[in-house]
Amino acid sequence: MKFSTIAIATVSAATVVNASYSYSPQVNDFLNKIDIAKAQVYDQAGSLRDDLIDSWSDSQLKEWLDAHSLYDVHTSATKDVKGYAASLKEQVLAHKDVLVEDIKSYQAAAAANAQPYIGKSKEFVADTGAKAGEVGAQAQVHAQTLLGHVQQHLYTQYENVKSYAWDLYKRATAYSKSKVDL
């Protein structure tokens, strides 16, 4: 008699959860842990993929059920590990609509969190383009100045070498004349 009362209470609690759904930080943390953002959640028809739930461990199934207070101890009360895992999966599948709401809420929250950055990205690109133009102009001025310095240095070196070569020529000429006079 008590068992049926508990089962009815569990069913009515699940109904209440579905009727007044609210997205909790605990659910958000769970969805982050299973990396739902990278998972293929829906099939081509737009339905929740069953293999999404198949990929969860027993502890993840129980964690999700606990996050929504949907875990039914009496349904899961078995010593058979395979039976326990199947029971947890059945409980999650029985509340698939809640999981779909979790995912929709997670996606909406992610989109809302990303929106300020998406809006800023256009401004950032424009600012970056302007700054790149300024930096490019400054780099061009610096390059021209550096080129001027290098040209001046090379010209000075050229003049020094030319002067040295002329001096050597004069010495060689003077030396050869002195040798000829002997």
The rounded distance, in Å, linking the Cα atoms of 135 and 4 is 76
- Is residue 8 domain-resident? no
- Is residue 155 domain-resident? no
Name the nearest CA neighbour of 34 among 17, 14, 59.
59
pLDDT profile of the chain (182 residues), mean per 10:
33 38 77 86 84 88 89 66 83 90 87 75 72 84 88 90 90 83 63
Q: What confidence score (pLDDT) does residue 142 get?
A: 86
Q: Is 74 within 8 Å of 3 (Cβ atoms)? A: yes
Q: What confidence score (pLDDT) does residue 11 get?
A: 35
- Is residue 147 domain-resident? no
Q: What confidence score (pLDDT) does residue 166 get?
A: 92
The first and second tokens of residue 90, run together, are 């059945």
- Is residue 75 domain-resident? yes
Full DSSP string of 119-157: HHHHHHHHHHHHHHHHHHHHHHHHHHHHHHHHHHHHHHH
The rounded distance, in Å, linking the Cα atoms of 68 and 14 is 8
The rounded distance, in Å, linking the Cα atoms of 92 and 82 is 15
- Is residue 104 domain-resident? yes
The rounded distance, in Å, linking the Cα atoms of 31 and 64 is 9
Number of independent structural domains in the chain: 1
Query: Helix (H, G, I), strand (E, B), or coil: what is residue 49?
Result: coil
Residues spanned by the domain of 37: 20-122
- Is residue 64 domain-resident? yes
Q: What confidence score (pLDDT) does residue 80 get?
A: 64
Q: What confidence score (pLDDT) does residue 6 get?
A: 32
Supply angle C-alpha 10, 13, 16, rounded to 5.
Answer: 155
- Is residue 176 domain-resident? no
Name the nearest CA neighbour of 106 among 19, 16, 50, 26.
26
Q: Is 21 within 8 Å of 108 (Cβ atoms)? A: no
Q: Is 72 within 8 Å of 10 (Cβ atoms)? A: yes
- Is residue 14 domain-resident? no
